[in-house]
Amino acid sequence: MATTTSFLTKPPSSDLYFIPKISSLCSHGSFLPSFAARPIPFSAKLETSSKTLRFITKATAAPGTKKAPSDERVHQVHSIDEFDEALRMAKNKLVVVEYAASHSYHSSKIYPFMVDLSRTCNDVEFILVMGDESEKTRELCKREKIEKVPHFSFYKSMEKIHEEEGIGPDQLMGDVLYYGDSHSGVVQLHCREDVEKLIEDHKLDHKLIVLDVGLKHCGPCVKVYPTVIKLSKQMDSVVFARMNGDENDSCMQFLKDMDVIEVPTFLFIRDGEICGRYVGSGKGELIGEILRYLGVRVT
């Protein structure tokens, strides 16, 4: 049985794909959102429309009107100063910002889904920017380089960590779970030492560890992560963990040591040893591999 140190330094050659360069790291598989929202050029939609607006937010309510409870957690900002202050107040929480336009059909379609997410994701802040509302919001969009709507940007500690254009509900939910997860049963690993400690902690109980290795801006990694969260709640005999290889140098070195060249890669670890891996984002395939390493016959 290999020790924790030897496992991390030189993994068993029979279970790994040996390709020397990490520079070829790529996303595995395709990612096609179920809701194909075509983004529209933002520059062409900045003029105030004289037609009836299809996108209605709480900001349009008449004075004295009670705010609708459904969207009370979506904070609409109206200037650069308000935007920066909202990011500062969020501190290290995930902040999801939708940049929209009043007469954008796709903006109006995706907004209710963001409202629903805001009601269930209490540890995430949600912000709405109506780009064609005023000159101040136009300046904000120009500073953030927003050219098409709907556009979603994700921030942590006032730093933009991800952005998407024209996404649908499934991908929006996946992005929020992927970048904002901090309270699920999935153990978040941020360095090599975290991996060593996790392995050491589960040597006595002999639990299977499923380590999800990905990258921050990997579509298939985002796609499969809700499944990982769900499985972590259903499989008490399995420990689920995640590491983003591009989070820091220690994580990237770990990917190199494990010869991870495609993401997402799932490493199956028991008693300090790698017993297998699965490369891909297929939900059924992942579940099948986990059951196989649990000793469950899958027919």
The three-point CA angle 50-52-56 to 5° equals 120
Contact assessment for residue 298 and residue 291, using Cβ atoms and an 8 Å cutoff: yes
Q: Tell me the β-bridge partners of 239.
A: 209
Contact assessment for residue 270 and residue 206, using Cβ atoms and an 8 Å cutoff: yes
Q: Which of 26, 121, 191, 221 is catalytic?
A: 221
Fold of 186-294: Glutaredoxin (3.40.30)
pLDDT in tens, 168-220: 998 898 899 888 876 678 999 999 999 999 999 998 899 999 999 999 888 89
C-alpha separations of 259 from 54, 59, 78 in Å? 51, 51, 48
For the chain, domain boundaries? 74-179, 186-294
Those residues with Cβ within 8 angstroms of residue 145's Cβ, 6 or more apart along the chain or in another chain: none
Q: Span 85-101, mean pLDDT?
A: 95
Confidence at residue 71, expressed as pLDDT on a 0 to 100 scale: 72
Confidence at residue 170, expressed as pLDDT on a 0 to 100 scale: 87
Check if 275 is active-site.
Answer: no
Which sign does the torsion angle of CA 109, 110, 114, 117 carry?
A: positive
What is the C-alpha separation between 214 and 207, in angstroms, rounded?
22
What is the C-alpha separation between 226 and 228, in angstroms, rounded?
5
Q: Span 265-288, mean pLDDT?
A: 95
pLDDT higher than 70, residue 18: no
Phi, psi (deg, nearest 5) at residue 141: -65, -35
Confidence at residue 33, expressed as pLDDT on a 0 to 100 scale: 35
Check if 141 is active-site.
Answer: no
Q: Span 142-152, mean pLDDT?
A: 95
Residue 47, token pair as written in the block: 């003029």
Residue with tokens 């009836």: 52
80-98 CB burial, b ≥16 within 10 A, e <16: bebbeebbeebeebbbbbb
Q: Which of 26, 218, 251, 275 is catalytic?
A: 218
Q: Are domains 74-179 and 186-294 of this chain identical in fold? A: yes
CATH 3.40.30.10 given to domain 74-179? yes
pLDDT confidence of 32, banded at 50, 70, 90? very low
Phi, psi (deg, nearest 5) at residue 256: -65, -45
What is the C-alpha separation between 192 and 176, in angstroms, rounded?
25
The percentage of the chain sitting over the pLDDT mark of 70, rounded to a whole number, equals 75
